[in-house]
Amino acid sequence: MPQSKSGHVTLSDVANATGYSVSTVSIILSGAPLSANVAASTRETIRAAAKRLGYHPDARARSLRKQRSGTIGVLAYDLSDPYCMPVVQGVQHGLQATDYLPLVMDAQTERKVFDKSLRLMLERRVEGVVVIASWMFDETSLLADIKKNGVPTLVVGRDLTPSGITSYLLDNEQGGRLAMEHLLQLGHKKIAVIRGPDGMFDSAPRWKGMLRALQQTSVTLAEQLTPQLPLLNTPGEAFEAGRSLVKHMLKSRRRFTAILAFDDLTALGVVRGLHEAGKSVPDDCSVVGFDDVLPARVATPAITTVHQPMRQMGLKAIEHMLTLVEKPGAVQELASLCLSTPELVERASTAVAAKKRALLV
């Protein structure tokens, strides 16, 4: 049916079918201002023909001509990480009412894929880029290209203000403090901490917050009980790491009545490791996670954790982005840092310390 080479129905097909010119058809089907002038009968004829033929405008041609792609790139470091999707959902939500379309890409924790995705976004002329937390970002030279091309960029999940990029992230330090304070309030004195890997941005501030919470107390942390996660690639690996680290700690024969894990998956691994060693949570040992992702909510006992408002962060970021793309060519304002407030959500994996039964293997 369509005559054009592409196999797709074009304006020219509709024009031929109705006897009107391509311009007229375009004006009507795109709802241009000029369409106020066209006769109602014409409008009907053309609309009907378009529908009958199955016309769908070519987004590439339109976007080329209009000099606006109507697209905002969203690049996640790993979409399969339960942390990412809520952020993306926030973005999607914020874009719903607009006529921007999120182009979501997944770096799959691979540097090469990350760079390629960024390049492809640039080529598709996204009007803005939202990057979800990635260590990969600092070294990439594409960053320079993005700036050179005047595409506004935002990052959520880590602080890149030193590189001049407005950043949305959790107040990790306060989160760490909250988690530790919770355990202290429950009367725990022998506390183990599984710290985040050095290569990850969140690690240091969370740790710092925990130490700060201890400052006014007499509680100290034993070095054997503060191991560090290696740099991981998948959520599954964090689980395994938590599981094996807790087993090592049990072997160390240092008492502890509570464990503070770097994130929820690690915490779930800890629960598993404890269980395998015959310890029960929270009776023998309390466990606290971080982030509040789905697996932590649906596990039994549900994991007490520090909630990170990922959806909200995505939403706030995209709202900011919308203001940026609406004023094209404006001087990129100073990079700002937007901290979200963490919230402790108490669930079933923590309990009052049973003083007499402090865990001793």
Please report, as ranges, the residues that interact with DNA according to CB under 7 A: 4-6, 8, 10-12, 19-24, 26-27, 29-30, 32, 34, 37-39, 42, 55, 57-58, 61-62, 64-67
Q: Which single residue is written with the structure tokens 């369509």? A: 2
Q: Applying CB under 8 A, does 32 fall inside the site for a second copy?
A: no
Looking at the DSSP assignment, which residues form a beta bridge with residue 306? 344
Q: Min. distance of Cβ 124 from a second copy in angstroms?
A: 5
Mark 38-67 with x for binding to a second copy (rule: CB under 8 A) and - for no binding. Answer: ----------------x-xxxxxx-xx--x
Q: Applying CB under 8 A, does 12 fall inside the site for a second copy?
A: no
Q: Which residue stretch of 37-45, 171-179, 222-230, 235-243 sits at the interface with a second copy (rule: CB under 8 A)?
A: 235-243
Q: Collect all residues with Cβ–Cβ distance below 8 Å to 23 and sequence separation of at least 6.
A: none
Task: Please spell the DSSP secondary structure of 219-257, one letter per residue.
Answer: ----GGG--BPPP-SSHHHHHHHHHHHHHHHHHTT---S
Report the side by side order of strands in the sheet with 191-193.
191-193, 258-260, 286-288
Q: Applying CB under 8 A, does 249 fall inside the site for a second copy?
A: no
Q: Applying CB under 8 A, does 223 fall inside the site for a second copy?
A: no
Q: Applying CB under 8 A, does 69 fall inside the site for a second copy?
A: yes
Euclidean distance between CA atoms 229 and 36, whole angstroms: 64
Q: Exactly one of 21, 326, 328, 336 binds a second copy (CB under 8 A); which one?
A: 328
Inter-residue contact 281 to 349 (CB < 8 Å):
yes
DSSP designation for 7: S
- Partner from a second copy, DNA, none contacting 331, C-beta within 5 to 8 A by type: none
Q: Applying CB under 8 A, does 278 fall inside the site for a second copy?
A: no
- Residue (180 or 241) nearer to a second copy, CB: 241
Q: Collect all residues with Cβ–Cβ distance below 8 Å to 337 and sequence separation of at least 6.
A: 159, 161, 166, 167, 169
Q: Min. distance of Cβ 99 from DNA in angstroms?
A: 12
Count of residues in contact with a second copy, rule CB under 8 A: 62
Q: Exactly one of 144, 215, 334, 356 binds a second copy (CB under 8 A); which one?
A: 144
Q: Is the peptide bond before 295 cis (omega within 30 degrees of 0)?
A: no
The size of the chain, in residues, is 361
Nearest to 136 by CA among 118, 162, 154, 121: 118
Q: Applying CB under 8 A, does 150 fall inside the site for a second copy?
A: yes
Q: Min. distance of Cβ 298 from a second copy in angstroms?
A: 4
Q: Applying CB under 8 A, does 92 fall inside the site for a second copy?
A: yes
- Partner from DNA, a second copy, none contacting 92, C-beta within 5 to 8 A by type: a second copy
Q: Applying CB under 8 A, does 305 fall inside the site for a second copy?
A: no
Q: Min. distance of Cβ 209 from a second copy in angstroms?
A: 25
Q: Exactly one of 36, 139, 149, 162 binds a second copy (CB under 8 A); which one?
A: 149
- Partner from DNA, a second copy, none contacting 12, C-beta within 5 to 8 A by type: DNA
Three-state SS across 49-67? HHHHHCCCCCHHHHHHHHC
Euclidean distance between CA atoms 268 and 295, whole angstroms: 8
Residue 298 backbone dihedrals phi, psi, to 5 degrees: -95, 0
Euclidean distance between CA atoms 153 and 134, whole angstroms: 14
Q: Min. distance of Cβ 106 from a second copy in angstroms?
A: 6
- Partner from a second copy, DNA, none contacting 11, C-beta within 5 to 8 A by type: DNA
Q: Which single residue is written with the structure tokens 């909630």? A: 307
Q: Min. distance of Cβ 172 from a second copy in angstroms?
A: 23
Q: Collect all residues with Cβ–Cβ distance below 8 Å to 258 and sequence separation of at least 6.
A: 183, 186, 188, 190, 191, 192, 285, 286, 287, 288, 350, 353
Q: Which residues bind a second copy (CB under 8 A)?
A: 1-2, 5-9, 54, 56-61, 63-64, 67, 69, 79-80, 82, 85-86, 88-89, 92, 101, 103-106, 108, 119-120, 122-125, 144-145, 148-150, 235-236, 239, 265, 268-269, 271-272, 275, 294-295, 297-302, 328-329
